[in-house]
């Protein structure tokens, strides 16, 4: 195939291996440029612009005819010679390769699109599952926080009640000299232990809430 293009630059110009100058076509058909032009003029009903040829601009900005592979094949119907037959066969093979290449590219593009569509569908499904999981997790956290809030409120209420009780006992204790056997003092010691225990539970509850919030942020 490469040998087909080993001619002088003035005789051939190939754009994307799809369009060819009239000079090149005439040389390959072993005929004259005027003969190519005459066939184009005589068969305007069969040789169609945009299919068999295009009108481009040369380096002087003048219009120039460029023939496509289909145009070369069409011209071969009107030019009879051994060279014309060989050139037409070459153009037919090149056109077939081009069409097969386009079909293969379209097939590959379709396969890529299907793969991409599958990935999008999978990602959407995964995103929905993740959203549901996060929603359940948030709901669980809310429930746990609600229970913690209730527990903290209960402990706070108990502490407030104990404060009142301690004040009452403190008032009673000062009326006695012997604190060791004073019933009020003993009750105060018991309340102190209860408060220490409740303070520990309250601290643990607050720590648990903080840990949940920190884990959620991460």
- Reported as a single tens digit per residue, the pLDDT across 105-123 is 888 888 888 888 888 888 8
Handedness of CA 154, 157, 159, 165 (dihedral sign): negative
| Averaged pLDDT score across all residues of the chain | 77
Span 182-218, pLDDT tens digits = 666 666 667 667 777 776 777 777 777 667 666 665 6
Residues 6+ apart with CB under 8 A from 46: 74
Query: What is the second-level CATH architecture of the domain 2-80?
Result: Orthogonal Bundle (1.10)
Cα gap 106→139, rounded to integer Å: 49
B/e letters for 175-187, b = 16+ CB within 10 Å, e = fewer, are eeeeeeebebbeb
> What is the mean predicted confidence (pLDDT) over 23-28?
93
Does 144 have pLDDT greater than 80?
no
Which among 203, 189, 208, 202 has a CA at the least distance from the CA of 156? Answer: 202
Give pLDDT, residue 105.
Answer: 84
Give pLDDT, residue 9.
Answer: 38
Tally: H helices and E strands in the chain = 5, 3
Does 104 have pLDDT greater than 90?
no
């Amino acid at each position: 195939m490469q040998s087909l293009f080993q001619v002088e630059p003035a005789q051939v110009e190939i754009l994307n291996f799809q369009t060819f100058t009239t000079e090149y076509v005439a040389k390959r058909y072993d005929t004259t440029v005027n003969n190519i032009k005459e066939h184009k003029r005589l068969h305007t009903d069969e040789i169609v612009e945009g299919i068999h040829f295009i009108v481009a601009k040369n380096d002087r900005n003048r219009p120039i005819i460029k023939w496509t592979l289909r145009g070369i094949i069409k011209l071969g119907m009107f030019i009879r010679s051994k060279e014309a037959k060989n050139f037409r066969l070459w153009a037919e093979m090149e056109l077939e390769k081009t069409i097969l290449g386009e079909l293969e590219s379209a097939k590959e593009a379709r396969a890529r699109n299907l793969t991409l569509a599958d990935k999008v569908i999978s990602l959407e499904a995964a995103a929905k599952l993740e959203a549901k999981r996060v929603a359940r997790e948030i709901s669980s956290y809310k429930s746990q926080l609600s229970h913690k809030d209730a527990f903290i409120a209960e402990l706070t209420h108990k502490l407030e009640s104990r404060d009142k009780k301690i004040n009452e006992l403190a008032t009673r204790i000062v009326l006695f000299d012997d604190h060791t056997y004073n019933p009020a003092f003993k009750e105060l010691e018991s309340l102190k232990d209860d408060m220490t225990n409740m303070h520990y539970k309250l601290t643990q509850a607050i720590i648990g809430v903080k840990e949940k919030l920190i884990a959620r942020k991460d």
